[in-house]
Amino acid sequence: MKKIDLTKLHNTEHLALMTDVLKLLKEANIDALTPLKTEFEKQVKASEEAQKQVRKSEHTSDLVSLDEKRDRIYRGLVLRLQSEELAEVEERRAAAKKVSLVINTYGNFTKFNYRKETAEIYNLISDLNSDEYRPAMQKVGIEEWVNWLDTVNKAFETLYDQRRDDYAEQPTVDVKNIRKELDASFKKIQEMTRALVILQPSETLNTFISKTNATINKWKEILAQRIPKKPKKNETKEEGKEEK
């Protein structure tokens, strides 16, 4: 049976490989491997349960949508303000420039992490609603945009806190140790299989080995594709965007 560096596999990939091996073990139904198969199945189920508990909260996709929505509203607000800076009425142009000054002090906070962006939006809205800037904000007609931004930002914060609480309630799971135990069971199966090739050769065993090797090869090919290519001369790295 072929070898593979199991440490290179992501948790979900590792579980997928082990699940495939378990299916092949059940399909082959080799008596000499039954005790190891029983223990291996327990380890696979333990790994499944562990990964279920550490998966992202169901709120994550909704958070992403709300974050995109507040970013879109903010961009719309800025574009509306920029159009007012070109208005024919001098008072509106002056008001737009005044509001732009306070907005520009915050920079592009849509690139910040979730917590920081939420706080910056609250601070911006507080400034815009102050006695100093509220008249100018109303004059250029962005009050509705500011209210939209405030509503979505509050909804985002509420959901963010809910996700945090969900994580806190999850039991502590030692995925690393569970995976290590599963690896040990898999290696025992490999060792026993190699021994059976000599001691109890059979067509069923050969078929099991062939199918298992095909599965292992599939994951080895995936791992090989991850090996970074050497950069060409004069090739520069593109600066990545800050992740949220």
User: Domain boundaries in the chain?
Assistant: 6-55+171-223, 60-169
Residues 137-164 pLDDT 10s: 999 999 999 999 999 999 999 999 988 8
- Give the single-character DSSP code of 173: -
3-state secondary structure 141-163: CCHHHHHHHHHHHHHHHHHHHHH
Instruction: List helix spans (H) across the chain.
Output: 11-28, 34-54, 60-84, 90-104, 114-128, 134-139, 143-169, 175-199, 203-225
What distance in Å separates the CA atoms of residue 36 and residue 26, rounded to the nearest whole number? 11
Per-residue tens of pLDDT for the chain, all 244 residues: 899 999 999 888 999 999 999 999 999 999 999 999 999 999 999 999 888 776 655 677 889 999 999 999 999 999 999 999 998 999 999 999 999 999 999 988 888 899 999 999 999 999 999 999 999 999 999 999 999 999 999 999 999 998 887 776 666 667 888 999 999 999 999 999 999 999 999 999 999 999 999 999 999 999 888 765 555 555 443 433 344 5
